[in-house]
A and B are shown apart, each in its own frame.
Chain A
């Protein structure tokens, strides 16, 4: 770790992918208060396939299906503009999705074994928003071809404009369009339901303050836990019957990270997607941010057994009511950093629909499922982020991605409690 390594990803070309049909002129996509609260962060999704669906690139049918899909997502191909009142919004002018093509000089397996968080960010394209965003593409796609076959598709956007579910549904819809299927989750651009927004203030003009960038050097590692690891834990420790893999793995990592941080570290921030938690659930295709950030406290968490912590997490998540979501939403304007101000645990259980993890169903060619899907959040605060994601194998396994300051991460990687579960550790930068 910390070894300076030459860049293994080389960007070859850049173009703009357009939608296939012109959108209605003058259409505008506004931001909600929640969207604006996410302004400090960026969001990147990277999907790794063992075989690339791209051929010559310019004339591929995959490009045509992308264009057709982009016609259904006018905000993705639009440009950010400021209204005369200083409020940001998206002008749906069809300018297009910036698409970059890159080559990686190693094979996909070697990459997954030896790359770290910073390397992974080379697989996505990002540029901070300039003063005049009229020619700045908010959504960027990067197609990275590995040596010997395999491809990583990286999609980036400002977190203000979309959350992880939105980007996942977008990529999955692209694969459905390519295979000439109906979209399972067509996009929906309606605003947040009034039940959540009744008391919130009108959207305030975005403050011009750009705070100092986060200075702690962070490292990321991804732990893949199999279904048997969860079952083993349940047998050994006798967890309560309603425990979900999220509860167990989140509790595991919270306690071990608290130990590594050597604070009593009793507070975390739980990030839960509330699309399906509302009495009138929002469709998965809801475009924008639908995240609930709530605090969870426990004293001396490092000394607590995982069972207690898991139960606390379970109670917290099951008790998320509309009122709680609304009150959390009212408070978002006061914070600047949503991820990482406190240790943040991101819950992605909602992406498992009827037992199938949504992101691993994004299949271009039959039989070629993604081998791995990474989610990265940019400008994360110093306390770190733990993301509990679905595993490619259906069942109780989970993939946990952890972002922590470097020294804490190096201690976590050798933590015996975690290693007891025999996780496969990838993308940690360890040679």
Chain B
């Protein structure tokens, strides 16, 4: 028996070295070409000797006008190049909201409230229990104060106070961390999908912090869990147009008004998964921020599958038979998410993948189109393009599906799974909790690339690629500061309730 694994081991080791060699060759192809040329040139120069070089130089017959024109031309081209280069967008810092311990929702409390409120519908209660058992959530997720009441009291006042609590706490923390003064904020973007009062949440922020009257404020609502990256995209575009500015993005989801009060099973699912959370992010295009910024934005790709009816209807807000409003999640959600992801990867792949993977993908594409359509499509190895992955913690199924599709290891999806366990599905802010997890574990080094993927109703798949600007020390405060040592935890397939 010891003999049999040996050949496999040696062959897989050989394969690994072949793969590595191939990657080095293709990715550094230009250097491989350039080095011999430079070597030959250097050898020639040395061979010629100083007098011969001087002779060659004099024979070129430069005159003043030619030299001036050439240098002017060079300067002109470089100015045009630097002016038209898009500004570098920095992520200076961000802060995630940590709910108070009074908002914690243990499984037993959730199930007990469910039984007391739905006492005539034991089947719905059973359904909720099965969802909760398999959800991947832990015992420390939080719901806003109004939902802890029996029965819940989702008044507009309660929704506003939840919004004020989460947004103002996150923003206070951000101002403290970055030393930014409220009157210096140039752009403000607030995204909250399901709660959109008048005046808007962005107006509420401006009122609280007395922001400037010429601030560019935008309030995005209705855009689902991927609205966080949509806000980043919008901030990027605005920062291209306005020089020397900064932008604050607030991503949150207000749970209070959207807690489903009926008993339709497909609509009870969000109650089990969505939890309270918020994040405030400071972005900037100022050159002075390049030393203290944590990340640089490399790419942002948005893919919208709304033109396909099935994708459009898969996350649909509607009234049930009794008139309660809730969000209906279709059973094809995973398949649709997979397709949206494929569409997104097709666009982002060429931007981020190293040449070796792109070549392989091209060859496999040519092979499938021309020679044999039955050839398995080559899935590029995204682990070569990124060091860290932040997959929106929409639910355990989403993370499992993406881990399978992208062939990621357990450590790559650890941030997503642990965020789902500790904070639940906090919608658009979950990507920031995941990024904070990676930083808190001390894994973020200068030059590391992070891929944030978010899905949202519509159906959308948005990706952002960040490059770490400076090695980040483990933060002393932050949402993970008191519990990071307990993580990663083992999350069983089914929790016994």
A: residues with CB less than 8 A from B are 13-22, 58-59, 63-64, 66-68, 79, 93-96, 134-135
Q: By the criterion CB–CB under 8 Å, are A95 and B101 in contact? A: no
Q: How many A-B residue pairs have CB under 8 A?
A: 68
15 intermolecular pairs with C-beta atoms under 8 Å apart: A13-B149, A13-B153, A14-B150, A15-B148, A15-B149, A17-B102, A18-B101, A20-B101, A22-B106, A22-B139, A67-B101, A93-B107, A94-B106, A94-B108, A135-B115
Which of chain A's residues have a CB closer than 8 A to the CB of B113?
A: 16
Which 10 pairs from chain A and chain B are nearest by CB?
A: A20-B101, A58-B145, A95-B108, A94-B106, A93-B108, A22-B139, A15-B148, A15-B149, A67-B101, A63-B102
Which residue of chain B lies nearest to A132 when distances are taken between CB atoms in the complex?
A: B115
Q: By the criterion CB–CB under 8 Å, are A95 and B102 in contact? A: no
Which of chain B's residues have a CB closer than 8 A to the CB of A134?
A: 112, 115
Q: A18-B104, A58-B145, A59-B100 are in contact. Are A96 and B109 (CB under 8 A)?
A: yes
Which residue of chain A lies nearest to B139 when distances are taken between CB atoms in the complex?
A: A22
Which of chain B's residues have a CB closer than 8 A to the CB of A135?
A: 112, 115-116
Query: How far, in whole Å, are A48 and B139 apart by their CA atoms in the complex?
Result: 35
CB distance from B172 to the nearest CB of A (A): 15
Count B-side interface residues using an 8 Å CB cutoff: 24
Q: A13-B149, A94-B106 are in contact. Are A64 and B100 (CB under 8 A)?
A: yes
Q: By the criterion CB–CB under 8 Å, are B102 and A96 in contact? A: no
- Given A16-B150, A135-B112, output 4 extra A-B contacts at Cβ < 8 Å: A16-B112, A64-B101, A94-B109, A95-B106
Please classify the interface of chain A as helix (H, G, I), strand (E, B), loop, or mixed, using the class held by over half of its residues.
Answer: mixed
Query: How far, in whole Å, are A427 and B112 apart by their CA atoms in the complex?
Result: 36
Query: How far, in whole Å, are A169 and B146 apart by their CA atoms in the complex?
Result: 30
Which of chain B's residues have a CB closer than 8 A to the CB of A17?
A: 102
Which residue of chain A lies nearest to B116 when distances are taken between CB atoms in the complex?
A: A135
Which of chain A's residues have a CB closer than 8 A to the CB of B153?
A: 13
Query: How far, in whole Å, are A63 and B103 apart by their CA atoms in the complex?
Result: 10
Please classify the interface of chain B as helix (H, G, I), strand (E, B), loop, or mixed, using the class held by over half of its residues.
Answer: helix
CB distance from A88 to the nearest CB of B (A): 18
Q: By the criterion CB–CB under 8 Å, are B105 and A18 in contact? A: yes
Which of chain A's residues have a CB closer than 8 A to the CB of B107?
A: 93-94
Which residue of chain A lies nearest to B105 when distances are taken between CB atoms in the complex?
A: A18
Query: How far, in whole Å, are A96 and B116 apart by their CA atoms in the complex?
Result: 14
Which of chain A's residues have a CB closer than 8 A to the CB of B112?
A: 16, 79, 95-96, 134-135
B165: interface (CB < 8 Å) = yes
Q: By the criterion CB–CB under 8 Å, are B102 and A64 in contact? A: yes
CB distance from B132 to the nearest CB of A (A): 13
Q: By the criterion CB–CB under 8 Å, are A20 and B150 in contact? A: no
Q: By the criterion CB–CB under 8 Å, are B104 and A16 in contact? A: no
B381: interface (CB < 8 Å) = no
Interface residues of B in 136-178 (CB under 8 A from A): 138-140, 145-146, 148-150, 153, 161, 165
Q: A59-B145, A59-B165 are in contact. Are A94 and B102 (CB under 8 A)?
A: no
Q: By the criterion CB–CB under 8 Å, are B148 and A94 in contact? A: no
Which of chain B's residues have a CB closer than 8 A to the CB of A18?
A: 101-102, 104-106, 109
Which of chain A's residues have a CB closer than 8 A to the CB of B140?
A: 22
Which of chain A's residues have a CB closer than 8 A to the CB of B100?
A: 59, 64
Query: How far, in whole Å, are A17 and B145 apart by their CA atoms in the complex?
Result: 10
Query: How far, in whole Å, are A19 and B109 apart by their CA atoms in the complex?
Result: 11
Q: By the criterion CB–CB under 8 Å, are B145 and A68 in contact? A: no
Which of chain B's residues have a CB closer than 8 A to the CB of A67?
A: 101-102, 104
CB distance from B170 to the nearest CB of A (A): 16
CB distance from B451 to the nearest CB of A (A): 32
CB distance from A131 to the nearest CB of B (A): 14
Which of chain A's residues have a CB closer than 8 A to the CB of B165?
A: 59
CB distance from B85 to the nearest CB of A (A): 48
Which residue of chain B lies nearest to A16 when distances are taken between CB atoms in the complex?
A: B109
CB distance from A37 to the nearest CB of B (A): 28
CB distance from A68 to the nearest CB of B (A): 7
Q: Mark B107-139, 1 if CB is under 8 A from A, else 0.
A: 111001101100000000000000000000011
Query: How far, in whole Å, are A132 and B136 apart by their CA atoms in the complex?
Result: 29
Which of chain B's residues have a CB closer than 8 A to the CB of A14?
A: 149-150
Query: How far, in whole Å, are A95 and B148 apart by their CA atoms in the complex?
Result: 12
Query: How far, in whole Å, are A21 and B486 apart by their CA atoms in the complex?
Result: 13
Interface residues of B in 240-259 (CB under 8 A from A): none
CB distance from A65 to the nearest CB of B (A): 10
